[in-house]
Amino acid sequence: MAFLRILRFLFWLLVLSWTVSTLRRIVARMGQGAAPGGQSLDGTSDAASGKLVRDPVCGMHVAEGLALPFREGTEILHFCSTECRDKYLSQARKFAANG
């Protein structure tokens, strides 16, 4: 008899956990894109999601929407910060002065 009670308890525990999991997914799907200002409910902006680009100076990977773009000829470079962009520009000037 005790075995059947334990088995019944585990069954209902499984049903309850599945129900909670399903409800969490439903609420998460309903909340996507509902926050104002282009932000999701976890506080990250839509610009943060998407393709990652690599900073040519420090090598850090940054979301394309958050990176600082810089066009050099036909190529677009992406930087993680203004410091990296300025460092790249100063190095480019050095090579241009020497060359």
Residue type, 68: L
Cβ burial 57-92 (10 Å sphere, 16+ → b, else e):
beeeebbeeebeeeeeeeeebbbbeeebbeebeeee
User: Can you tell me the distance from the alpha carbon of 33 to that of 35, in angstroms, rounded to the nearest whole number?
Assistant: 6
pTM above 0.75, yes or no: no
Predicted confidence band of residue 18 (pLDDT cuts 50, 70, 90): very high
What's residue 34's pLDDT? Answer: 53
| HEC per residue, 17-41 | HHHHHHHHHHHHHHHCCCCHHHECC
What's residue 6's pLDDT? Answer: 93
